[in-house]
Amino acid sequence: MEVTLRRFAAAGRRAHTLRPCATAVLSVCQSRPYSGPSRPPPNYPGHIPLNTLEKAALAIGSGLMSLRDPRRGDLIATFAEATCTPFFIYRLRDAMLSSPTGRRILRDRPRITSTSLNLPYLRSLPPNTVGHTYISWLDREGVSPDTRSQVRYIDDEECAYVMQRYRECHDFYHALTGLPVVREGEVALKAFEFANTLLPMTGLSVFAAGTMKKKERERFWGIYGPWAVRNGLRAKEVINVYWEEQLERDVDELRRELGVEPPPDLRDIRKREREERRRAKEAREAVAGAA
């Protein structure tokens, strides 16, 4: 582990070595999570118990890399697990316990997959339903509900499920808000999730706004950042939505109930900007050709 930490110190000095170092720590923690006689056994299938030093190293490595590339879902998932204890995941679990629906979710422990949701059926639902909105978003963005990483580094078994539930509901939050999976949309949704869940990973992801292009940063701070904070704070705890029971419901009705106002269509804005750049380029080429 000392070798791993020295690698991270070097990574902080040389940005180009971040990816190998993060990969090395993930490899160490996954293949040899414990050394010594006092290590406890796993608390649930797939659980990898880590001590405090290992968890800190994992948080540093995955955090640096996910900040650099917010589309690395594996590193974001690892960072979320390494930083959500001892307080934040328990707060989210308690929010579920304080809600009748949240308690049912914890008791039933449903999973969100392509088979559990019956995606062909969702495509047959009316366009204004939650289910059709969700599957239309999946089809448009080219993503699948089967790609969410399994929780491994949270010791408490019930809290591990809470994190898994949050992770698998992420695409429903996308569908509810209409935000796409491009970096700009992911950062905006993470800001919304931070205001609503207080998970540290979602807050750190907001700093990825600094890696966006100038126009995108201006749009985030002027439109999507304020929208995320306002809606995330006033909305009900989205972790308590039993999505499997809402699929046939009117999506606008659910938005009103939760207190979530959809932001301006980001894909439409980006499309208009591309068209404007194309027309401007064609105009410049026409002028140059005439000259």
The residue extents of the domains of the chain are 2-266
The band of 155, judged by pLDDT with boundaries at 50, 70 and 90, is: very high
261 touches 255 (CB < 8 A): yes
The stretch 187-198 carries a mean pLDDT of 95
The stretch 183-189 carries a mean pLDDT of 93
The stretch 250-272 carries a mean pLDDT of 94
75 touches 62 (CB < 8 A): yes
CA distance 271 to 267: 6
- Three-state SS sequence of 130-179: HHHHHHHHHHHHCCCHHHCCCCCCCCCHHHHHHHHHHHHHHHHHHHHHCC
Write the CA distances from 220 to 23, 49, 168, integer angstroms. 30, 38, 25
Query: Taking CA 181 as the corner, what is the angle to CA 177 and CA 187, rounded to the nearest 5 degrees?
Result: 75
Q: Report the predicted TM-score, pTM, of the whole model to 2 decimal places.
A: 0.81
Task: Tell me the H-state helices in the chain.
Answer: 2-13, 18-31, 52-68, 73-83, 88-97, 100-108, 119-124, 130-141, 157-177, 183-197, 200-206, 214-219, 225-234, 251-258, 266-290
The whole-number pLDDT of residue 8 equals 37
CA distance 117 to 131: 9
The whole-number pLDDT of residue 4 equals 40
Q: Is 16 annotated as a binding residue?
A: no
Neighbours of 23 (CB within 10 A): 13
Q: Is the pLDDT of residue 256 over 80?
A: yes
The whole-number pLDDT of residue 7 equals 39
Q: Is 186 annotated as a binding residue?
A: yes
CA distance 62 to 227: 28
Q: What type of residue is 245?
A: E
pLDDT tens, residue by residue, 226-235: 999 999 999 9
pLDDT tens, residue by residue, 46-83: 999 988 888 888 888 887 776 666 667 778 888 888 88
The whole-number pLDDT of residue 71 equals 64
CA distance 155 to 22: 22
The whole-number pLDDT of residue 5 equals 38
Rounded mean pLDDT of the chain?
85
